[in-house]
Amino acid sequence: MDNISVDHLTGIKHLTREDIEIIFKTADSFKQVINRPIKKVPSLRDITIANLFFENSTRTRLSFELAEKRLSADVVNFSAASSSVKKGETLVDTVNNILSMKVDMVVMRHPNPGAAKFLSERIDAAVINAGDGTHEHPTQALLDCYSIREKFGSVEGKKVVIVGDILHSRVALSNIYALQKLGAEVMVCGPTTLIPKYIHELGVKVEHNLMKALNWCDVANMLRIQLERQDIQYFPSLREYSMLYGLNKEILDNLDKEIVVMHPGPINRGVEITSDVADSKQSIILNQVENGVAVRMAVIYLLASKIERH
């Protein structure tokens, strides 16, 4: 089998279906590895990876760091809060300074859309996008699709609804691309103000009624309301949002069929999803987190195999 067609993972948009399938197949093997007594393989012992987080993160950062360590890579961490970025250094300068210390790969989260692509065109290291503003979050979409594949055996033909703040969500956009490439049908659901105006041009269905959306789907991916990105008021109150678009056990039990519930985290319990749903048998939220490490190991492994030895 060939390697993936890209040298950087800046977004799902640039991947082919074959790329995603190679990543999944490799992730299957890493999932075995991380369930062994010794959860580590020596593949990347001569690779150094910098995790640059210009925006807060818990899950993604830990997941990337664990993935890197389980591949035996050397890891350096950087967060904007405690760095010279505050002193006025530009992104390319910051990264080039880090690269002078012989770093082979950069995992970056940044508040500006397109930051990962911008960086990948300017530096001599493989770049993995760990979220760029409201644009893409490719590894999250890969692990979401991987979890659906694990649950159902395949993503092809599945109906997936993404509920919530589609406008500010990089998870939504990456998921739409990934699900469509794998042959799934995608619907977005949320208040009119939180659905981008021309999103139907991506080939997704738009629905404003949660019950209708849930009765249509096999999988519901519930997104968080990204209050930190909302500069204006998009809906009257969180309470009202929660009443119209929050998923609770009563709604779940009254559907025509049993659906699978996903959430990329962090969960705002009681807003987009109630505790009893998040902790129910139908939820695969914690499987998503476990699969996140395996999928990230696969992405790092495949991209690292393309880095030339100096």
Partner 1 sequence: MEKQVILNEKQFELTLQRLCHQLIENHDNFSNTVLIGLQPRGVHVLNRLKTMIEQKLGSTVQCGNLDITFYRDDFRRRERPLIPSVTNIDFIIEGKNVVLIDDVLFTGRTIRSGLDALLAFGRPQKVELLAVVDRRFKRDLPIQGDYIGKAVDTLVSERVAVEWKELEGEDKVILFTPKENG
For CA atoms 260, 265, 270, 272, give the dihedral sign. Answer: negative
Q: How far apart are CA 216 and CA 187, in angstroms?
A: 9
Tokens of 127: 């770049």
Which residues sit at the interface with partner 1, rule CB under 8 A?
Answer: 1-3, 22, 25-26, 29, 32-33, 36-38, 40-44, 46, 71, 301-302, 304-309
Q: Which of 59, 61, 151, 159 is catalytic?
A: 59
Q: Is 60 a catalytic residue?
A: yes
Nearer to partner 1, 66 or 307 (CB): 307
Nearer to partner 1, 28 or 279 (CB): 28
Nearer to partner 1, 179 or 304 (CB): 304
Q: Which of 117, 137, 170, 224 is catalytic?
A: 137
Q: Which of 86, 87, 197, 310 is catalytic?
A: 87
Q: Which of 8, 31, 70, 109 is catalytic?
A: 109
Nearer to partner 1, 9 or 278 (CB): 9
- Minimal distance, residue 45 CB to partner 1, in Å: 9
Q: Is 45 a catalytic residue?
A: no
- Minimal distance, residue 215 CB to partner 1, in Å: 39
For CA atoms 222, 226, 231, 236, give the dihedral sign. Answer: positive
Q: Is 87 a catalytic residue?
A: yes
Nearer to partner 1, 41 or 206 (CB): 41
- Minimal distance, residue 43 CB to partner 1, in Å: 5
Please state, in angstroms and as integers, the Cα–Cα distance from residue 55 to each residue in 42, 59, 131, 174, 292, following that order. 30, 13, 9, 18, 19
- Minimal distance, residue 156 CB to partner 1, in Å: 22
Of the CA atoms within 13 Å of residue 262, those in its CB half-sphere come to 28
Q: Is 59 a catalytic residue?
A: yes
- Minimal distance, residue 8 CB to partner 1, in Å: 16
Which residues have a Cβ under 8 Å from the Cβ of 177 and sit 6 or more positions away? 11, 12, 13, 15, 136, 141
Q: How far apart are CA 244 and CA 241, in angstroms?
A: 5
Tokens of 14: 């640039």
Q: How far apart are CA 19 and CA 68, in angstroms?
A: 20
Active site residues: 59-60, 87, 109, 137
